[in-house]
Chain A
Amino acid sequence: MINIEFNGQIQSHGTPLNIEQLLAFHQQALEGIAVVLNGNIVTRSEWANTLLNDHAKVRVFRAIAGG
């Protein structure tokens, strides 16, 4: 069992998962988002390759267009 913080909420997971799987678990809309893992942006091409460790902190930022 590992605990992963997603946008400030801690969730337990029974199996290891990568960023892509975490986003799917939380039903996160994927359009226009930047994913931050432990304070560092993970580029989209690396989402599927980035396995999340216990106590990982993931945060999602959405592009805003207004001006």
Chain B
Amino acid sequence: MFSTLTFSIILPLFAGVSLLLFALFGRKFEAQGRRNEPRYFALFISAISFCGIFYLWLIYDRDLGGTQFIQKITWIKRLGISFAIGADGISLTFGLLASFLPFFLYTLSQDDFNISPANGDNIVSNRSKLIFYGLSLILQGSILGVFFAFDAVLFYVFWELMLFPSYFLLGLWGGRKKIEAALFFILYTFVGSVLMIGGIAYLGYKSYHQIGAVNFFMLDHLYSLTFSLSEQIVLAAVFGVAFLSKAALFPLHAWLPITYVNAPLFLTIIMSSLMLKTGFYGLYRFVVIFFADGFAYFAPLLAWCAAVGSVYGAFCAWHYVRVGSASLRKVVAYSSLSHAGIIALGIIARSEISLIGAFVQVVAHAFYICGLFLLIGRLEPLVERLEGRQSLGLQSILPGTSRVFLMMVLASCALPPLASFVGEFLIFAGSFKAFPAATLLALTSVFWGAVYNFEFFRRLFWGPLQLNPTDFNSEQNLEPFLDLSKFDLRGYHQFIFVLIFTLILFVGLAPKMLTAPFSSNISDNLKLSLLRSVKTKQLEEGSRFRREPPVTKDPLERNIEGEDSLMLTALK
């Protein structure tokens, strides 16, 4: 009944709901000491989901290209809304990431990295674990849904479904300003995306106008629509605001620092490595390809925003390292903002090279930002902020942590053989032709990135040891510090960072492994968007002579299900 792809998306959603229901009704479970089953269950479910998507990634026919594994179930027939799931190389790459990272995070136990409900919070009951993992599974499922939905309304449903689990994760397990942060995050992204439903309704209306049936299925129907330039400009703005506010492009980034600092570490990692990417994915899927001419209207402005954003993020990170008054997480949050600006530049430039670079960088950034946040979460109970000290000298007590931290810092600085270097290089190479000045500005952020990253590392780990008792956050569990050597990373905990680093290095050395499935998709899409802009140009020129846009009304071309097609065959 369900294809493998649909199954991999729906399974986490159902598993999450069932965990939440179990939390509500599972009366006996509460009393039974400390249980780890919720985490194992989440691990199991996400492993299945990951395997499914990995299998599809392997068998995806690269020569054929295009969208494959399509499953389409009619949902609301009257308005042509269907549960349409499909995958092309790009969504498979994003989806692989979105199914792997949660799986990877579930392998870590809660005490290790401060990532789940146990640490620093009074909520340690089994029930809260059920709720936590239930919500995170729903979040994972909805992110996967965003990447694979090929019906515009379904996409919107998954897009908004991301909000509710993140709201609860943030509000229930967040930091000091959790309620403010939760409301701020939801409002910012909801208000940003709320106009999108109007835009989607307009797409449906256009499909009624041009094809003869309301339909939101993206591939056959929406991709064949033509829009005039003014329509494209408005639609690009409406969709663009939604996606860019999620992707935290520079003037729309206000939710990012407060949310990253106050969210539980698990959510911070999911947000920075996956949720940010849903914005880029949507920007590419809808705006860049679909409304290419309208987007071209905004592109120079947006390129400057991206460049300024990347420099701004780098400067803020550098500032917080120098002054040291803010929490360590804030430094990483701003560095994430800076790198997001670079990715955005690659997508905005719309050349084939820069798009490939942007997607490579999306994967690389997801991994090293995850590693950095994990390490910060590890250090947080020990050191909350730098407090203007020249150095903390943690290397003497935490040599293992220092080693892996250096790895992540190197990845973040885009050291040449690593994937982040490949990504950034391709982005800049591709975008230089389109936006030379903005690219040069963004290039400086790479330099500043190296400055703040190494300064950050130096201050944390080198120099004489300077820890004072005020560093120990009184609410935290003090036990690990009685024996500081036990606090160091070893074994599996060190291995995961080596794994992350190896993955980044591997992708950097053989980027073809990653880019092969989607590079043909990108060139196809760019051709499509070129074709569409030729059509738009014809439309604009034609409208000088005729007021009405040319509407193709050949009934044989219509590809409609159900009654209409029956009627057509009867007519023939």
A and B together in one complex: no
